[in-house]
Amino acid sequence: MIFHHILLQIFHNFNQERSISAPFHLLRGKRSGQTVQDVGIYQLHQYFGILPKLTRTKYNEELSTLIENQSLIVKDDGFYELTRNADEQLKKMQKLSLDGWHYRGNEHIYFARLSLIIQTLSHQRAGQMTFVPIQKDEQVQQWAKGFLKANQYKGGQLQPRLLNEIHSSLEQTNVEESGKNILILRLSGYGSSGLTWQQIGFQENMNDIDLQVIYIATLHNWMNIILANSEYFPLLHQMADGLRIKNPLTGSAFHSAELFNNGHSIEEISKIRNLKLSTIEDHIVELAMNEPHFKLEQFVSTVDIKKVFTAVDDYNTRKLKVLHEVVPHLTYFQLRLVLARGEQDAT
């Protein structure tokens, strides 16, 4: 159910302007120009890469259910339509917020650290220092060791402090209780093993993929709280520090962005890097999407930005071709920049 809602929301944002495969690539976090730019154009940051292991078979299965319950109509050309039924559901559904674009799977590193630290502290409290570590990754193990030493775990004071931080930070995290329960059931300690996904699904009466999504959403929201209030949660902050990606640009785009930020023009960058102008433009669009301080006005006037968004509303589209007809004096590059920026500059 939850996953279906997410799919509907994504389809809704895509505004019937992409194929039925687009949500699949988005959820898996495909690092192609198209998918990445769509994130900006259709404001899909939340969902990017939240299910990197989603299989095509599973995805198709879920689509079939949406078709069966008459939320979605797939057309011959591979595009789709949302039905009135879907609109109803979208209105009623409660929003689950995610932050896929900024975590990119790093939430799992946070959880791995946390679970190994909890396991260790739990055993230490019980006076049992030999146990099989629940996390096998050598890097996570090294990190946890460093953390425990730096925070003087031997004194026995770390347990209550960490407990306090977890209690109050999770308390402030605005997600359903079931999400928090799931998360804590994935931890193990002395004399108390965590539960498998199957066991949790049975207990909470939820299917696999919904569990995954709630789990990820809970982690994202929790980490956002921790990172925004680091002074109150110093221990958890150490575990989450640096895992939210501030500059999520891809390799090549990253280099162009650096040159751009150092004052080079698009033409210059194209010469320096010996890349096509259009490629550099792609990079600048990506930068615009990701850099909160990016000044859109250096490329498009405020008046024109307004015009674009009026056109988006009037014609209910984000298709470049249509928008270009409405505001023909803007280039495709300018249009893409405005869309990538999203509503944030229009207000």
Partner 1 sequence: MQLESILNKYFGYSNFRPGQKEVIENVLQGQDVIALLPTGMGKSLCYQLPGYIFDKPVLIISPLLSLMQDQVDQMKQFKEKRVIALNSFLNPAQKRTTIHYLHNYRFIFISPEMLLQEHVQQKLNSMELSLIVVDEAHCISQWGFDFRPDYLRIGQVIGKVNRPPILALSATATTKVLRDIESYLNMDGPYKFIHSVDRPNIHLGKMLFQGREDKIDWIMDHVSKSAGPGIIYTQSRSKTESLSGRLLQAGISCAAYHGGMDPLDRQFIQQQFIDGSLEWIVATNAFGMGVHKQNVRQVIHESLPSNMANYMQEIGRAGRDGKDSLAILLYAEGDEEFAKFVGIDDYPVDAHVDSYLSYRSRNEQPSSMIQNGEISETAFRVLDYWMNQLQPAEVRQQLTSMKYEKMRAVEEVMELIDTNKCMREKLVHYFGQTLDNTPNDCCQCCGMDYGKIIHRRENDATYPHLLNWKDRIEILLLGNS
Interface positions with partner 1 (CB under 8 A): 115, 118, 121-122, 125-126, 130-139, 159-160, 162-163, 166-167, 170, 177, 180-181, 183-199, 202-203
- Between 33 and 201, CB nearer to partner 1: 201
- Rounded Cα distance between 226 and 291, Å, is 22
What's the min distance (Å) between Cβ of 246 and partner 1? Answer: 23
CB 180 → partner 1: shortest distance, Å?
A: 4
For residue 138, the minimal CB distance to partner 1 (Å) is 5
Name the residue nearer to partner 1 (CB basis): 57 or 298.
57
Element at 74 (helix H, strand E): strand 72-74
Least Cβ distance, residue 160 to partner 1 (angstroms)? 7
In whole angstroms, what is the distance from residue 332 CA to residue 310 CA?
A: 17
Taking Cα atoms as reference points, which of 201, 184, 202, 248 lies closest to residue 3?
Answer: 201
Least distance (Å) from partner 1 to the CB of residue 132?
4
Query: Rounded to whole angstroms, what are the CA distances from 174 to 21, 42, 92, 224?
Result: 31, 25, 19, 11
**Scanning the structure block, which residue is given the tokens 């960490």?**
162
Shortest spacing between CB 61 and partner 1, in angstroms:
13
In the complex, what is the shortest distance from the CB of residue 213 to partner 1, in angstroms, rounded to a whole number? 15
Cβ neighbours around 329 below 10 Å, total: 8
Cα separation, 71 vs 74, whole angstroms: 10
Of the two residues 33 and 194, which places its CB atom closer to partner 1 in the complex? 194
* Least distance CB 214 / partner 1 (angstroms): 13
In this complex, which beta carbon is closest to partner 1, that of residue 31 or of residue 271? 31
Helix, strand, or coil here: 208? helix
CB 188 within 8 A of CB 119: yes
User: Residue written as tokens 């039905």?
Assistant: 83
Rank residues 55 and 261 by Cβ distance to partner 1 and give the closer one. 55
* Closer Cβ to partner 1, 17 or 137, answer by number: 137
CB 19 within 8 A of CB 78: yes
121, 153 contact by CB (below 8 A): yes
| Torsional sign, CA 58, 59, 60, 61 | positive
- The smaller minimum CB distance to partner 1, of residues 147 and 333, is found at 147
Q: Return the structure tokens found at 173.
A: 């995290």
Partnered with residue 192 across adjacent β-strands are: 189
CB of 142 to partner 1, least distance (A): 9
Question: Rounded CA gap, 309 and 102, in Å?
Answer: 26
Dist. CA 35–CA 286, nearest whole Å: 11
Identify which of residues 128 and 265 has a Cβ nearer to partner 1 in the complex: 128
Nearer to partner 1, 90 or 195 (CB): 195
